[in-house]
Amino acid sequence: MSSDIYVSLSGQIAMDTRLATVANNVANMRTGGFRAELVTFDTVLSDYRRDQVAFAAVDTVTIDRTPGPIEVTGNPLDVAIVGDGWFGVATPSGLAYTRDGRFTISPEGDLQTLTGYGVADEGGAPIQVQPADGPLAIGGDGTITQSGRVVGVLGLFSIAPEAGLTRYGDSAVLSDRPAEPIADRVANGVRQGYREGSNVNAVQSITELIEIQRAFERADSAAKDRYASLEQAVRILGSE
């Protein structure tokens, strides 16, 4: 069979991955702290009979670290990061990192994410407060005070640019390299009563979604036409 059908098929498989990724980004345009995924492609050379044929393949799927927009909520348990850094959260898979600072307080006094993971301090330990002692005040450096006394400091962690990230849940990520606590709380801090939104570019992503669907349909139509031509050629040769 002609190699161009296989080349077309490889392109469709790659586009299917891209389509699923962009669709997931679009579905999370309103998810707090969500980080979009970016797909890059590569060319794979393979010997086909006597010729080298270039097939399309997915190279990497990376997480876009660009900050999302910050909006005011007035909720004292909403905290947005200003500058670099990630909040640390304790999960069954170890310490994960997120920019989603929409926190809650459990009946036991644990400061948690909306998904129930404990929020970590600078040393990675869980932060606990007294539910009956009144609202929390969170300073720009992450210091948490309640009823006039310091009860903890929000951990901010820096992830190396070369570290590989994998998604954990909707907004958190796991790093293949240890994250480091951020000591500079002047350039990098937090704002109480604010939340960071998704960094998905809505217009760009929806446009890209439409373009991928159209490209997939064109590739599928071309493959069907080529296959039909081959079938016709086989029938003609078989009748001679």
Q: Structural domain boundaries of the chain?
A: 3-65+200-239, 70-196
Q: Alpha-carbon distance 108 to 98, whole Å? A: 23
Within 162-212, strands assigned E span 165-168, 172-175, 180-181, 189-192, 194-196
The answer to whether 157 and 88 are in contact (CB under 8 A) is: yes
- Return the pLDDT at 225: 60
Global pTM reads 0.78
pLDDT in tens, 28-52: 999 999 999 988 754 444 444 555 4
Band (61; pLDDT cuts 50, 70, 90) = confident
Within the chain, strands assigned E span 37-48, 51-63, 70-72, 79-82, 86-91, 94-98, 103-105, 111-113, 118-119, 136-138, 143-146, 149-153, 156-158, 165-168, 172-175, 180-181, 189-192, 194-196
pLDDT in tens, 131-158: 989 999 999 999 999 999 999 999 999 9
Token match 């962690």: residue? Answer: 157
Q: Alpha-carbon distance 63 to 96, whole Å? A: 14
pLDDT in tens, 166-195: 999 989 999 999 999 998 888 899 999 999
Nearest to 61 by CA among 24, 19, 21: 21
3-state SS assignment for residue 207:
helix
